[in-house]
Structure 1
Amino acid sequence: MAVDLTPIARIIAAEIGAKPAQVTAAVGLLDEGATVPFIARYRKEATGGLDDTQLRTLDERLSYLRELEARRASVRGSIEGQGKLTPDLAQRIADAVTKAELEDLYLPYKPKRRTKAEIARERGLAPLAETILADRTLIPTDLAARFLSAEVPDVKAALDGARDILVERFAENADLIGRLRAHMKAHAVLRARVIAGKEEAGAKFRDYFDHGEKWSAVPSHRALAMLRGRNEEILSLDLEVDAEDLNPVKPVERIIAQVIGIAPAGGPGDAFLRDVARWAWRVKLSLHLSIDLMTDLTDRAEEEAIRVFARNLKDLLLAAPAGSRPTMGLDPGIRTGVKVAVVDGTGKLVATSTVPAARLPGAVKSTSSATTVGVAKVVLPNRTREVVAMVRRGLFEAAPRLTRRSTTVVGSIGKTSRKKRSARISEPRRIS
């Protein structure tokens, strides 16, 4: 199914600080099979100058938002096919900005296996649940006595069935799930414990044999270490919520009561519903939300690890390329001009420019005079012999002290196929 690109382009444009037209152009190139490095290097004119960082974010968000739109259409179609799509629900589906929010809305309408709640409905207990929920002044045990049958032999069985129906309803309430998720993100504690008998085998994870810290503040390296310990079956990981709260009614239960409208000191029906809320949290909501938060933690830790590795790699790549010798790098292009950059002996960037090839000697002179580093080495990419010869002539004309041994020709780095996300890197080789 085709997805309208216009709203996606606007969203991504706002996120990366670009214009929708730039995003649309980049999306077109990606859809044709071009890779991010290729577009960043060779298609700047088409994208209006989007850089590598912007394009990577664009690529990631494009995939996510397209999946979100496809899922939105699927959810809407499923609910509409059931004859349960109301204008309010349609608007909420249209306004959902994350996959989690969309799935929360879809949960009550998702096809299910035969649950306890479904069995209770088949036994005619749905009216009992609705009556308890509607009129809290009525006594649930008295109401339950009216629903006895061969399949519901006693009052307890009737109330258990009503509870199962209400638990499912509470667990599928999108507003309730959203509030509980926010509460858990703010207050949950990630608890790691060693699995009995694995102390010796898991000695490298000893720091996490009995470890706990707030979910929202776990650094990526510790999160990844604990997740690795769990994958190796050394550690067990759990999310604890309000474990230190000594109040008999936990905050999560109060949130459920507020959303459902259960009075703290109401009638007999409220007392029954408070027990249902407690049970819904224990058997449904806590497990569902814990899985969500652990998934979020894994994604967050991996993204931060990638950022750290990227920063470290950037430092390595930007280290002084020729030791303590100031170096000039040239990227010649007949159509786009020659890009010139100069770094000092510490690897610090001190000058850049882009000039037509015919003006290269003058540009080299001005670039060299604008810096006090005294360029001792020049690096050229491995292009055609004609281009290399042209650049060398310009260099020797601009700076006679530079000899052929002062120049090094290296292979193009990051030159990527349109179809494959792989780069072929050549070792530097000297052309004498």
Structure 2
Amino acid sequence: MAAPDIVVTGIGTFSPLGVNVQDTWTALLAGESGARTLPYPWAEELELPVRFAGITKVDPTEVLDRIEAKRLDRGAQLALIAAREAWADAGSPEVEPTRLGVDWATGIGGVWTLLSAWDTLKEKGPRRVPPMTVPMLMPNAAAAAIEMEFTARAGARTVVSACASSNESIGNAIEHLRRGYADVIIAGGTEACVHALPLAAFAQMQALSKRNDAPELASRPYDSGRDGFVLGEGAAALVLEREDHAKARGARIYARVLGGAVTSDAFHISAPDPDPNGSVPRAMRLALEDASVTTTDVAHINAHATSTPVGDIAEYKSIRNVFGDHLDEVVVSATKAATGHLLGGAGAIEAVFTVKALQERTAPPTINLTAQDPEIVLDVATSPRKLPDGDLVAVSNSFGFGGHNAVTVFATA
């Protein structure tokens, strides 16, 4: 029996660019940046070398009920907001609970809760540690919150694969829908670790841009002056559905999800494998094979493109290895320039951007690219770029610490 076709029927996001998909997409097309100087006094007090990040445009506690927010770590708060938008956008489908699943992701988990509880323990003693600390800090907290919100009983699974996490969660959702484990799955990812410790640690790795005087210009993928990524926070969700189920209920379909693949480098805990014939290009080839398309079918790529000197060139060489001369016909977007790097939420929000690009036939711009690295020969959209008429195929890439690689292939509805 042939595997069922999978479609996207709802999308949601809560990001540094906006409180919903429309606001986020509009800001992205307008070339806005979500990077801003941190409002937290500890950034100055601790003399952090990096004092800016892509923090959400609105605090999630302004959106959620006070009691509800109190019981969720910031990452789970963001996830629940995004999932609610995606579910409403899908028409709040009536689904038997045992046919509704959740495939969610995070890269780090409840770091705010963990570090706050540690401070409380040191300063006030064990009796003052909040009793909900463990349920709030566990990496699967967001998946659990979404599962309970929508009574999803076909499984609530959590992927933790660093910056490839939520792209991998989408891949898992594809597999679970194809296998018949569910009819509808809420997939996506979240991250909220704009906290002093992660900022200090990433800075010590020389991974972050240090442009404290101009945060909005700091993330500059493919630019000769790139000096590291901008840490971001946010969440994004996609309602994925068997096409027959979606059509039976008259759902609007944004795009088709053709396939995906994951591989691992087995090379280095944080550095990308520089081999242009290695696991990164293999992930792209396997994803295209799973999607039953060829490289010449692809018109658009949302690249991982974090704005690190080493990472951007390594990804470019891998893409060139896979696509060859056809890459010159592909429009590439590097949207982390606007959002910052959402770590475990990055693949999900970039999947939403890929879906919107296909729906509106517009590749979003890569901001801050003023002097393209001559070693990176790509057609990068620096302003909104119209995509061709007809059926379109787009690829979304995500790669993470530990050598995790995840690629998903989408197509017009």
TM-score, structure 1 as length reference: 0.18
Greater share of helix: 1
TM-score, structure 2 as length reference: 0.19
Larger-Rg structure: 1
Higher normalized contact order (CA 8 Å, seq sep 6+, divided by chain length): 2
